[in-house]
């Protein structure tokens, strides 16, 4: 997402999400996932970036509104007295709105299927915007593996099948190969777009780090 943050009010956020004024965070998250699938620039090109910024800003506004209504901030009295709010002992500091929205974007579900990864027993795979989770479950063992989109080095090949399905083979970090079988071609194209976008972000970060190292 672009770094420049869009700003929207509560009424604008409700219009963007097309919902009534609600504190139901499950409803807000579900609508957010739907809008991300519809407008994310990694899937639909750079022209959708501005719309996606407004969707993320609206999500942050609605989640903050729901939090304040359902769970009043206990630090307000401390702030009014001039004391800085403190994180309760044993709890992590709360993430900022931008970090929370990034986390929710990565969790947006795209597809669920079954495959035989590396000729092992059948596994269930769950594809989200942030990566691919593969779960093997039987009487002998229960194993889970998560591959982030930025860990996919390249798309090795795609074998088109009947009924608009395909097998997608990918090379991940470390040289390992995984194949997702019986994948709808539309989802395969989405994965290719997400992998390319993640790779470009990785290259930009690497170039920035090299530039900083040279300056030092």
Please report whether residue 150 resides in a domain: yes
pLDDT band for position 89 (cuts 50, 70, 90): low
Report whether pLDDT(118) > 50. yes
Please report whether residue 84 resides in a domain: no
- Alpha carbon distance, N-terminus to C-terminus of the chain: 29
Please report whether residue 170 resides in a domain: yes
Cα separation, 161 vs 182, in Å, equals 8
Let me know whether 117 and 199 are in one domain: yes
Let me know whether 116 and 193 are in one domain: yes
Report whether pLDDT(149) > 50. yes
Report whether pLDDT(77) > 50. no
Q: Which of 52, 74, 96 is the last residue of a domain?
A: 74
Report whether pLDDT(185) > 90. yes
153 and 172 Cβ atoms separated by less than 8 Å = yes
- What secondary structure does DSSP assign to the chain, as a single string? --SSPP---HHHHHHHHT--S---HHHHHHHHHHHHHHH-HHHH-GGGHHHHHHHHHHHHHHHHHHHHHHS--TTHHHHHTTPPP-PPTTSPPPPPHHHHHHHHHHT-EEEEEEE-GGG-S-EEEEEESSEEEEEEESSS-EEEEEEEGGGEEEEEEEEE-STTEEEEEEEETTS-EEEEEEEEHHHHHHHHHHHHHHHHHHHHHHHHHHHHHHH-
Q: Which of 27, 51, 74 is the last residue of a domain?
A: 74
Can you give the residue range of the structural domain that contains 191?
109-215
Let me know whether 115 and 51 are in one domain: no
Report whether pLDDT(5) > 60. no
Let me know whether 68 and 125 are in one domain: no
**Tokens read off for 148:** 């982030």
Please report whether residue 199 resides in a domain: yes
**Tokens read off for 138:** 């039987």
Let me know whether 116 and 182 are in one domain: yes
Let me know whether 50 and 118 are in one domain: no
Residue 69: which CATH number? 1.10.287
**Block residue for tokens 């997402």:** 1
Let me know whether 113 and 190 are in one domain: yes
Q: Which of 74, 99, 122 is the last residue of a domain?
A: 74
As for how many domains the chain has, the answer is 2
Please report whether residue 5 resides in a domain: yes
pLDDT digit string (tens) for 22-39? 778 888 888 999 999 888
Please report whether residue 139 resides in a domain: yes
Let me know whether 204 and 115 are in one domain: yes
Please report whether residue 85 resides in a domain: no
Let me know whether 121 and 193 are in one domain: yes
Its pTM stands at 0.68
User: Which of 79-83, 85-89, 134-138, 143-147 ranks highest by mean pLDDT?
Assistant: 143-147
Let me know whether 142 and 192 are in one domain: yes
Residue 170: which CATH number? 2.30.29.30
What value does the mean pLDDT of the chain take? 79
Which residues have C-beta within 8 Å of that of residue 176, sequence separation ≥ 6? none
User: According to the model, what pLDDT value does residue 166 have?
Assistant: 93
Let me know whether 124 and 62 are in one domain: no
User: According to the model, what pLDDT value does residue 25 have?
Assistant: 84
Please report whether residue 42 resides in a domain: yes
Burial class (CB in 10 A: 0-12, 13-18, 19+), 98: middle
């Amino acid at each position: 997402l672009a770094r420049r943050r869009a700003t929207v009010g509560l009424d604008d956020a409700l219009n963007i999400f097309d919902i009534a004024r609600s504190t139901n965070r499950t409803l807000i998250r579900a609508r957010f996932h739907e809008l991300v699938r519809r407008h994310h620039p990694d899937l639909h090109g750079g022209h959708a970036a501005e719309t996606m910024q407004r969707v993320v800003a609206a999500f942050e506004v609605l989640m903050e509104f729901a939090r304040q209504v359902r769970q009043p901030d206990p630090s307000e009295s401390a702030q009014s007295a001039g004391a800085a709010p403190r994180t309760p002992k044993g709890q992590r500091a709360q993430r900022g709105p931008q970090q929370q929205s990034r986390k929710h974007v990565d969790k947006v579900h795209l597809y669920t299927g079954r495959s035989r990864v590396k000729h092992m027993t059948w596994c269930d795979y769950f594809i989200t915007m942030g990566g691919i989770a593969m779960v093997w479950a039987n009487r002998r063992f229960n194993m889970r593996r998560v591959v982030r989109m930025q860990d996919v080095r390249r798309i090795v090949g795609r074998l088109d099948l009947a009924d608009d399905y395909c097998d997608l083979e990918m090379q991940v970090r470390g040289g390992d190969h995984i194949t997702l079988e019986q994948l709808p071609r539309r989802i395969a194209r989405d994965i290719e777009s997400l992998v390319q976008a993640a790779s470009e972000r990785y290259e930009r970060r690497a170039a920035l780090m090299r530039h900083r190292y040279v300056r030092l």
